Structure 1
């Protein structure tokens, strides 16, 4: 029954109500990408090849921040912000794939298991969408809205997991089994010591975007303290690159908390930037980026400067702390004996693609991801 259900479920069923995809040309600059990200409610902006009309990737705030953390970018922010966006895109092939609306959900799952994070799907034309499109063409926008006359949306791993969760009864007894029993806990995780420089985690942060995971922060005995979360980093603006360049991993975790960084950490960042002769970096970011008019760093008032380094109010996100508290650090966690369906519900509720797996003493066991969950569903179908 589950096989026939997935086989007859079209990708278009998951596209209902999805917003039109916002996009940029791969020839756009880093500064233009920042402007688009800050004016969008979406975490990612799609990037297209104008000549071929093909989506070649996606970019998020964390991609940009990691690029700005490079030594050459810190030394010359002017050149960094004028760099073509193609230099920032992930070089990992197949992260974004095109798929027709008539494709089956099984095809979508297979593409995800091959490495796709986002599936670009054409929006089927309706009378209402045609009217909206004409209105949109009358408005000025820095992003591309259509390609060869077609508009698109995209599906994520979360969309597929949410759809499966709505029909979870078809997969009995799989949902009741523990993630330990299913063997979907990965022990090979991205991690960094609490006291290590945050700058040493930039490579791991970039890799976590590709893997759709996060970077664990551990103490000396391997106890899980928290994480450097791409989700939280995406809530910040480009000035968080200064925090990454100057703070420890543990302090960065506190700095990027969605409530905004503590004033003492802002003061530390400013002082260390001065020591490193990088104090003009924040000013150049602000002058060159066409979006921070309300948070200027050029003010002579130190209180104004500090407030501009905090998370902009429009980029903060709130969420429940009920299942995220681990030794006063925020992280979505579960136990090895947690059931598959419980893990799915927990991840969906917190809008993450992974859960850290820890023991009762907070020792880190590993991580479970949406990709590994989908693999279990796919393998289950083959045994029916």
Structure 2
């Protein structure tokens, strides 16, 4: 069984993966916003076709097309929150989409379908978040339908040479694949995350009562690192989180919330992808107080329908007593508000911090992260004080070491 696992190539993990939503580097932030709000995907890939060779120093040229990055709604939200853009968000939306891209080209890596599983894990450990893999050309009705939809949105589709389409593999894809063969990693998978030394104590935190805008830099960092910002009280206890994974299910109006709300109120705003009406009114009032007319006009949204509070914001915090059971640190439980596009059809995750204890087993933490569609799990003590975070990248380092022993 070990030899079969080691024989797998990235093409095996790409079976059934949909082709990437592609956007040209010549597009604007507004174009990217339109694409993100019209698709169920949380990310869109940015491509340079007919590019300059100096962009290709670190990656192979594939049919004159190169994926140079990825963006999500959080990139746009954080961009609009920057000081230069708060006054005139409309002008910011007309900026080139390149302003949203990471300068680290290694975040997205092109790989050949024959790349081995071990090589793919090595790339992720070195910093890659998405592996771009070519898939067979599809001149199908679905491909034509995607082109028509892009034309209807007044967006120039990115056409790759030879009609080649691409998909990408994420850290979650690889961890999920390894979980299907977890028996091969016995007894390592049963060891605690503490004993394996994969608890990262270098974490990002913000006080519950602090202005959310003070955490903007940390939100940007957590997005780049695929982690989150812990919201803590004065005693260092974990109250909740401001997670890019949850924030990505909101729209651009969340920029106004970050600009005006406290960290605690922001958690309520982004929960389930829709804010309660009283917090929306608070955002509007504070925008008026600060005379941010541009942001108020650009993000004027009618939230009067679809708001359905489920539980009081004073819901008690609760934990499971079993270390190997999924744990959730419950914050606010709020409702959704309806949206007219397919953006509303996404299954959103509440603004709850997913937690474990130092003694939780590696496999239990893997299951928690995959079940909640995040790439990390917070580590807390019995008194709810946060001590660190366990990330997919750390888990993959453990599995890579185990695979190394199988290869000898």
Common fold, TM-score beyond 0.5?
yes
Q: Which of 59, 70, 83 in structure 2 is aligned with 1:58?
A: 70
Shift of 1:349: 0.8
Give TM-score, length-normalised by structure 2: 0.82
Change (3 A) 1:312 1:89: farther
**Match status 1:131 vs 2:144:** no
Tell me the residue number matched to 1:293. Answer: none
Q: Which of 76, 79, 84 in structure 1 is aligned with 2:88?
A: 76
Tell me the residue number matched to 1:366. Answer: 388
CA distance in 2, matches of 1:238, 1:137: 24
Tell me the residue number matched to 1:324. Answer: none
Tell me the residue number matched to 1:292. Answer: none
CA distance in 1, matches of 2:229, 2:395: 20
Q: Which of 169, 180, 184 in structure 2 is aligned with 1:166?
A: 180
1:54-112: CA deviations, max 9, x gaps?
A: 00000000000000001111111221010000011112331000011111111110110
CA distance in 1, matches of 2:101, 2:254: 19
Shift of 1:320: 7.9
Equivalent pair of 2:72/2:248 in contact (CA under 8 Å): yes
CA distance in 1, matches of 2:244, 2:383: 25
1:27-47: CA deviations, max 9, x gaps?
A: 211100000001111110000
CA distance in 1, matches of 2:258, 2:349: 26
Aligned residues: 357
Tell me the residue number matched to 1:348. Answer: 370
CA distance in 1, matches of 2:83, 2:349: 36
SS of the residue 1:45 aligns to: strand
SS of the residue 2:293 aligns to: coil
Q: Which of 210, 230, 246 in structure 2 is aligned with 1:216?
A: 230
1:114-141: CA deviations, max 9, x gaps?
A: 100000000134xxx3334663476241
User: Please, which runs of 5 or more residues in structure 1 have no aligned partner?
Assistant: 287-295, 322-328
Shift of 1:334: 1.0
Q: Which of 98, 105, 121 in structure 2 is aligned with 1:93?
A: 105
User: Please, which runs of 5 or more residues in structure 2 have no aligned partner?
Assistant: 52-64, 309-335
Tell me the residue number matched to 1:290. Answer: none
Give TM-score, length-normalised by structure 1: 0.87
CA distance in 1, matches of 2:337, 2:46: 26
Change (3 A) 1:382 1:122: same
CA distance in 2, matches of 1:104, 1:382: 13
CA distance in 2, matches of 1:226, 1:124: 43
SS of the residue 1:336 aligns to: coil
Equivalent pair of 2:29/2:97 in contact (CA under 8 Å): yes
Q: Which of 108, 132, 145 in structure 1 is aligned with 2:120?
A: 108
Alignment of 1:1-384 (within 5 A): 2=2, 4-52=3-51, 53-125=65-137, 129-132=138-141, 135-136=144-145, 139-141=148-150, 142=155, 144=157, 146-149=159-162, 150-258=164-272, 260-285=274-299, 303=304, 312-313=338-339, 314-315=343-344, 317-318=346-347, 330-384=352-406
CA distance in 2, matches of 1:74, 1:130: 43
